[in-house]
Structure 1
Amino acid sequence: MKLCYAKFNPHQYLECHTLDAINVLKSIKNSFPWLEELSPGIFERSFYAVLLHDIGKCASGFQKKKNKWGYRHEILSVPFVQFLDFSERERNLIALAILTHHKTLDELEEILPVRIDNIGPLEFDEKLDELLERAEYIEKTFISRIPNIEAYYFGTTKLPKRFNLPPDWKERLRDFDFQKLTEWYENNLEAERGTLTFMRGLLNASDHLASAGETEILLLPDIVERLELKIPMRKLRPLQVAASNSEGNLLLRAPTGYGKTEAALLWANRNAFRNKEGITSRIFYVLPYKASINAMHQRMMDIFSDPSLVGVLHSSASFYLYTSALEYKRLSSLYHKIYTPLKVTTPFQLMKAFFGVGFHEMLKTELSGSLIIFDEIHAYEPNVLGIILAMLKELEGLKAKTMVMTATLPDFLEELITDTADFRELKTSAEEADKFTRHRVHVIDGGMESVGELIADLGIHKKVEETSRPGLVACNSVDQAVRVYKELSEDYRVLLLHSRFTYGDRETKEKLLLEKMSEYDFVVATQVVEVSLDLSFSTILTEPAPLDALIQRFGRVNRQGWKEGRIEDVYVLTKGADADRKIYNPYDVVEESLKILQDFDGKELRESLIPELVSEAYAPVSDELVEKVRDYQNTAQDVFNNVKPMRTGEDEQKFYQMFNGLEAVPGVYQGRVSELLDKKMGMELYRYLIPIPMWFYHAERKNFHRLSDKGYGKYILVAELEYDPNKGLQRVPLSEGDII
């Protein structure tokens, strides 16, 4: 009897891979009970989809040539569903899940068998003959074991015995009507949208995890027990206690340093589904920037210890894992599957489920019943906010719960959120908030033109000497930051931090700050400092910005001062660079923020006043911003409604155009990058990449070119611009010289 393998590296028999996938499905079934409420019978149907999904691999051509066979094994698997004792609807749902578990319907439609006047299709008949060469194996080895697999999955008292192979099964396989199946899909799409999504999502999840060598999904341990190792529950603050007792969606506002992260975890612990083994709900902790995501991942790792329990998802997460000495290949793959119970991520990763990107049904299945925490939600542009609001609507329908938290939330944004979904609101009392007051504001006429003289006049350098902590100089643009860095470097020890450094140099700079902060007099930085490392500077001199952004910058000064009731001075300039009007649009918010701060010149900025002041700063443009956000929300909702399960998302390309930035190698490093590619050391290449905004690429397009990919899998963009590890990428064409 000829054997049948489902996997070849290493070899694995069909029944073994199928049982592994069944184990994964059983694990999800025991963990995701809400799916039965959303689609009754989903786990019984999915069992048979998983059971039969790879049976077409028994074709002799596939066994000999695998990926070079030239036909789709799932097309041969589908006809077996006719032997299931289900209604036509349920058989069609199972058939469609099997048919699309690798390719979408639109990708398959040209090769699906279609018979006209009982003639053809010859290729399907030929491939079916190849399958029937393994008929003995199918009957005596694989199908004979189905009753035992059913007993294992359903339990001996609940055996459905749905699969019955008739004597004429070989002839009946040939007569399966694929055209009728696809017509049923089109006619029932709207009514079955959710079920089709979960059918494909569960089969993909089971198949992908089994192929990765996993046989179950992981659960999170009790969060309170883990947190108690860090914070005794008797020392919880009032809002943390309130969050731990809140059920349903929650909107929380509290000062920086209050412990919002712990409050969010306690809320998640309260609202999570769980079984005897642990918390079954997937938890997504959403942040706007990679730097804050990486820092939060490390913080969660400190609580939960196991990297399999805490995932990280963003566009360069693999490099972050690689540099963290973690098992990056395995983990970066598993973090994209329904495996890891807690993931720290960007909103763009979640948006893929609703834009129809990739295996979006699997992500949408994972998001069902989930707990989603949006931190620093104020930091998003109107287009992203609009999409997030549209997502909130969709998530409600998936039985997910959401927590939104921030230290600075304008009233207009709060109203947008609470109008979209039902949220309970928690805010610190004025008395409690004021305990976290740490800053005295000084508004300084002028800009950064003679920053060295300004620092001397204000006595900022003396503060640096007294505290042995560097002062922070915050600029709104990279060009301004580089100019200020050059000037200050003549007299002080200065470190420059902005977004146009290679990932390797950025990592080095952040390590220097963490380990040798006292060796610098000043750190000059752009907005990256608002969400960067957990550092505390002696003081700050900053260009004008919207009040919420300024509050974030102030938060980098005297971070733990509230413990001792210590107040430190912060300095805000009245004049920025001309380019700031493009960075902050509408600029009215910046001008209004300066007016507000003028009233506090020389005074403490009490934390209890900040929410009201931020709302006041946005008041002149709130109607305009609300209209923008609502327009984006409605557009996003239209896109979401247009996404069809089991088909390629029509707006997938639009998603990547909207959110995928570019990455480039500085011209000075292209020789080294070519060498790494020749040595197949692709992960090391990331050290030499720089994130490039689209506006920058278009402005300097003549200075970019493509480097041959040399098998890397995608082209490498090269920026023929000056690069210095201390200053970053400059808007100056690369001069003649040796390429490293």
Structure 2
Amino acid sequence: MTAETTDPPPDHTVFWGKTGKGSRTYSPSDWHPLAAHMVDTLHVADQLWEHYLSPALKRSFLPGAADEELGRAAFRWVAALHDLGKAAPGFQYLSDPHFQQVTRSLPCSAGPRHMRHELMSAQLVRTFLGELRWPDESIDWVADIVGGHHGVFPKPAFRTAMKSNDSLGDAAWRARQRELFLFATRASGIDLDELADHVPGIGAQMAFSGAVILADWLASNDDMFGYRNGWPPGYQATSEKTAEGFRTFMELGEVWHPAPPANAEELYATRFGIATPRGTQLLADEVARGAEHPGLMVVEAPTGEGKTEAALVAAEILAARFGFNGLFFALPTQATTNHIFDRVLDGWIHSQSPKPTIGLAHGKAQRHARYEKLLEGIGEDENEALTASQWMRGAKRALLSPVVIGTIDQLLFAGVSAKHVMLRHTGLANKVVVIDEVHAYDAYMSEILHRVLHWLGWHRVPVVLLSATLPSTQRDALLRAYTGADEVEVTGAGYPQITWAPALDVEERERFGEPSDPFEAESHQPLPLKAQATTSSRGGELAVEFRPEPADTPEAVTALVDELVGDASPTSGRGTVLVLRNTVARAQATFAALEGRFPREVSLAHARFTTADRRRLDADLTQRFGPPRRDDGSGAVTENPHRPARHIVVATQVAEQSLDVDFDVLISDLAPIDLLLQRAGRCHRHARPQPRPVGLDTPRLVVTGYTDPDGDGRELPTEGALPVLPTGDARPYLHHLLFRTLAHLAEHREHNGRLTVPADVPSAIEAVYGDRPLGPDAWQEAMGAAAEAAERHIRELAGKAGAVLIARPDLDEFGLGEVQHLGGDHNVDEDEEKVAQMLPVRHGATSIEVILLRRVDKNTAETVSLPQAGTARRRVPLNRMPSDAEKEAILDQAIRLPLWQVDTEKLSSPSGWKRAPWSSRLRVLLLDSSTGEAQKGNRRATYSTETGWTDIT
């Protein structure tokens, strides 16, 4: 199946594909022939097939074909056809001088009417394949991919509208268009008779649609493919040679070439220096090596068990076995994402050879110093430098780097009807996907996550889910989403445990999927799955205590901390304490009270700090409260030299997940049981080489954040009215789960008073998330009302998520035209931040990101964050463009604030900044020069590097 290299007839090359209008390199009169752009895209597609797309994705394109070369030729062919619609008067007239040139040899009998050229491409493909008597289903997938190359698939209704549209031209134009179609067919080397019998699966159609977009973007770059003002002799060969440089333009070093050692011990030793893998780590290796097909692995194990390493090992084995050449590791927050990115840089990626190009994907990735250096070409290893791609970190391209560490948002965008969603599927379909803290997402995010998992199952992408605390109902929902099964039946139980579910083929999905006939439901069988349990080398008893506190007064916690680590306490003024509050306001009030009692020994961490201060706080947390030091040569363990003798950290959920921090005692607001146990993982996380303070030598969790309504001082009321909670229902947690958590802990305390971790973890989670009545009789009426409110809230969130989802891939008579709900609206903003606001992947209080500065005078402002301790705030101009150093300082002042606290009418980019793309759309909030405050109505707020953004009304 050899492609033809002859040049097209001269009259084929009269159509323009690109002009120099708006180009910095070429004049408006310069142009590049459409036929040249077609072969440029064809050759780029060929290079992507050879050097970028994974073997698994290439096999999925035409799985029924006897020869993979048919898939390669089909990809080349579809890529070449994407702009066929430009050979129509409805497009050619957009450049008048070039249109005059076209009409000298091909008159236009009617005044052309503009139509999107990708829609005209789709219609012409339909016309010519119909002439060849292709089946409708085969025509649809080609036309939909061609018609979707600008990010939105054409709706089925457009086909009727196009039939009577004069934008396509008359019979003479049609003859020339048909000749271009045949030229692309010959150049690609495709056998159309053979291809007519093959229809890719919907997952492959989605992924290859994104790959066609990628090929088009690369072929459209005029630095890569210069304008020829016609078709020079031998251009096919010139274009093919130029396409070989696509790696340079993409800044692509290497894709991932996974090559795991043959046994688990060698693999963990090679990748992480782990001489003795834990039970969970060995089981992850065993399950991955034993898998017959790609599938979903659910790893449930205690915090500190080494799930990150287990996931990376499983991902490498699965990638190598099933032909994937990339990795996406998703985490819940920017802070945890940065932490895992650093861990990957410090260990795992250095043992890969060659090292794959790596990306960091979240809204503040460019503010991460190590990633920024990689983007600048400053590698981590002098002998074999890592690479990161500036081009692949742009809008819509975040998942295209071979290895990507990113926030869960980047994954969830693959499930919403945003423009260019297919490009995200291309990135994911090449990769093994790891999702950490999978229990941490609310009903809204979970609904989107389930839709993404459903598509990943159709892509047959291996997925690894990690959780320390996962209710069985949530686990089963995740398994159903990936497999498409109506019900799953998991046998085997334990903790830690790993559950494996294979990616089902179409026939298996029909067997286990939702019955199309309700009368068949009784005979429908659940999908049988097996969980394998292992042992944990960690754990022990966790002492759980209770300390109610008066409403809105943090003095009880201050007194408690004094009892625990005060000078007169049994610890003699030693010990590290983590106090976790559920809201920023509660954390700030607690910090103020504790700072008054323990001056300069208290830190505060929450989400309402600037980028600069968040970076400083995260680094401080991991530096001072991280694990002991291990000498790589001798294996000796020494205490972290930065660990303070006594310190209290007050934090919100930012310290709850993925951060490798270790405290002597934990005080926490009441939270759902799974999150309480997750938080408890920050207490005695590591065996320390030095003894812990007396009285804090066993793990200890003190639960607070509720008020005894009877006021009789009982720690945990088991009679009388329900305790009073300080926040509204579902803000941030459902009261239903909080009451059930408190009731279960009270019941458990009557028997023991301690939780055994990990043994008691599954039963505790199942008790709270199950439907067995909990709590005293006097609580039942109020708890029943809370349960009904929770059900309504979950339904509401699921409904809101449903409004932004792409369609399921398994609907009857489903095609790409039904994927998106955007219809023919091509005005959807392509900027990721704006898309996120229109199609949010997180639900909650509406927020807005601003640049927070304090006004000095009319022309000057200063940063609210200090560059470093002991330095002055940096002055920045408002009346001129900032220098590079000033620009960095300005971007470091970004902060996300609740919309109800911000007067949006006062937000703008200073007039002196509007000439640069990076600054023209910034929303700057200037604090008052004298008071340092911002005001909205009667509400006032201010900012400090110690407490962050604070409402002082």
- TM-score, scaled relative to structure 2: 0.60
TM-superposed CA distance for 1:304, in Å, is 0.9
Say if 2:683 is the partner of 1:482.
no
Paired with 1:702 and 1:724, the residues of 2 have a C-alpha distance of 19
Match of 1:218 in 2: 255
TM-superposed CA distance for 1:607, in Å, is 2.2
Specify which of 412, 415, 436 is matched with residue 473 of structure 2: 412
Moved more, 237-246 or 12-21: 12-21
Task: Tell me the percent identity.
Answer: 19
Match of 2:699 in 1: 568
Paired with 2:166 and 2:705, the residues of 1 have a C-alpha distance of 78
Q: List aligned pairs for 1:323-402, cutoff 5 A.
A: 324-327=372-375, 329-333=390-394, 336=397, 339-368=400-429, 370-402=431-463
Give the secondary-structure state (helix, strand or coil) at the position aligned to 1:608: coil
- 2:46 aligned partner, one-letter code: I
- 1:612 aligned partner, one-letter code: S
Say if 2:393 is the partner of 1:312.
no
Paired with 2:308 and 2:144, the residues of 1 have a C-alpha distance of 42
Match of 1:505 in 2: 613
Paired with 1:100 and 1:486, the residues of 2 have a C-alpha distance of 55
Paired with 1:78 and 1:582, the residues of 2 have a C-alpha distance of 47
TM-superposed CA distance for 1:729, in Å, is 0.8
Give the secondary-structure state (helix, strand or coil) at the position aligned to 1:522: strand
Bigger RCO of structures 1 and 2 (CA < 8 A, at least 6 apart): 1
Match of 1:261 in 2: 308
Change (3 A) 1:334 1:633: closer
- 2:952 aligned partner, one-letter code: V
Give the secondary-structure state (helix, strand or coil) at the position aligned to 1:271: helix
TM-superposed CA distance for 1:109, in Å, is 10
Specify which of 192, 209, 233 is matched with residue 200 of structure 1: 209
Q: Is the 8 A contact 1:722 1:732 kept in 2?
A: yes
Q: List aligned pairs for 1:4-83, cutoff 5 A.
A: 14=37, 18-27=42-51, 28=53, 30=55, 32-37=57-62, 42-53=71-82
Match of 1:697 in 2: 899
Q: Which has the higher helix share?
A: 1
Match of 1:716 in 2: 923
Paired with 1:31 and 1:209, the residues of 2 have a C-alpha distance of 23
Match of 1:169 in 2: none
Give the secondary-structure state (helix, strand or coil) at the position aligned to 1:506: helix
TM-superposed CA distance for 1:460, in Å, is 5.2
Change (3 A) 1:411 1:63: same
Match of 1:298 in 2: 342
Q: List aligned pairs for 1:440-589, cutoff 5 A.
A: 440-446=543-549, 448-459=554-565, 470-490=576-596, 491-493=598-600, 494-515=602-623, 518=643, 521-531=647-657, 533-561=659-687, 567-573=698-704, 575=706, 578-579=726-727, 581-589=729-737
Give the secondary-structure state (helix, strand or coil) at the position aligned to 2:599: coil
- 1:731 aligned partner, one-letter code: D
Say if 2:734 is the partner of 1:666.
no
Say if 2:858 is the partner of 1:678.
no
Paired with 1:263 and 1:487, the residues of 2 have a C-alpha distance of 42
Q: How many residues align?
A: 679
Change (3 A) 1:680 1:714: farther
Q: Is the 8 A contact 1:437 1:607 kept in 2?
A: yes
Q: Is the 8 A contact 2:668 2:705 kept in 1?
A: no
Paired with 2:394 and 2:698, the residues of 1 have a C-alpha distance of 46
- 2:595 aligned partner, one-letter code: S
- What whole-Å deviation, never above 9, does each CA across 1:313-352 have from its counterpart, x for those lacking one? 2333333368753317335239826643333333332233
Paired with 1:260 and 1:62, the residues of 2 have a C-alpha distance of 58
- What whole-Å deviation, never above 9, does each CA across 1:13-67 have from its counterpart, x for those lacking one? 745565234211333274523423568665432211223445788979869999x
Give the secondary-structure state (helix, strand or coil) at the position aligned to 2:656: helix
Q: Is the 8 A contact 2:54 2:430 kept in 1?
A: no
Paired with 2:882 and 2:571, the residues of 1 have a C-alpha distance of 48
Match of 2:281 in 1: 240
Match of 2:778 in 1: none
Change (3 A) 1:18 1:144: same
TM-superposed CA distance for 1:609, in Å, is 0.9
Q: CA RMSD in A?
A: 5.0
Give the secondary-structure state (helix, strand or coil) at the position aligned to 1:640: coil
Q: Is the 8 A contact 1:433 1:608 kept in 2?
A: no
TM-superposed CA distance for 1:128, in Å, is 7.9
Paired with 2:83 and 2:614, the residues of 1 have a C-alpha distance of 46
Match of 2:516 in 1: none
- 2:549 aligned partner, one-letter code: G
Q: Is the 8 A contact 1:492 1:522 kept in 2?
A: no
- What whole-Å deviation, never above 9, does each CA across 1:472-498 have from its counterpart, x for those lacking one? 222221111111212222333221111
Moved more, 316-325 or 629-638: 629-638
Paired with 1:376 and 1:24, the residues of 2 have a C-alpha distance of 34
Paired with 1:551 and 1:505, the residues of 2 have a C-alpha distance of 28
Match of 1:286 in 2: 330
Q: Is the 8 A contact 1:35 1:368 kept in 2?
A: no
- 1:221 aligned partner, one-letter code: P
Paired with 1:267 and 1:39, the residues of 2 have a C-alpha distance of 29
Paired with 2:120 and 2:904, the residues of 1 have a C-alpha distance of 52
TM-superposed CA distance for 1:688, in Å, is 1.3
Give the secondary-structure state (helix, strand or coil) at the position aligned to 1:641: coil
Moved more, 42-51 or 455-464: 455-464
Change (3 A) 1:434 1:113: closer
Moved more, 358-367 or 103-112: 103-112
Paired with 1:96 and 1:513, the residues of 2 have a C-alpha distance of 50
Q: Is the 8 A contact 1:722 1:729 kept in 2?
A: yes
Match of 1:706 in 2: 907
Q: Is the 8 A contact 1:561 1:567 kept in 2?
A: no
- TM-score, scaled relative to structure 1: 0.75
Match of 2:870 in 1: none
Give the secondary-structure state (helix, strand or coil) at the position aligned to 2:807: helix
Q: Is the 8 A contact 1:722 1:731 kept in 2?
A: yes
Q: Is the 8 A contact 2:281 2:309 kept in 1?
A: yes
TM-superposed CA distance for 1:528, in Å, is 1.2
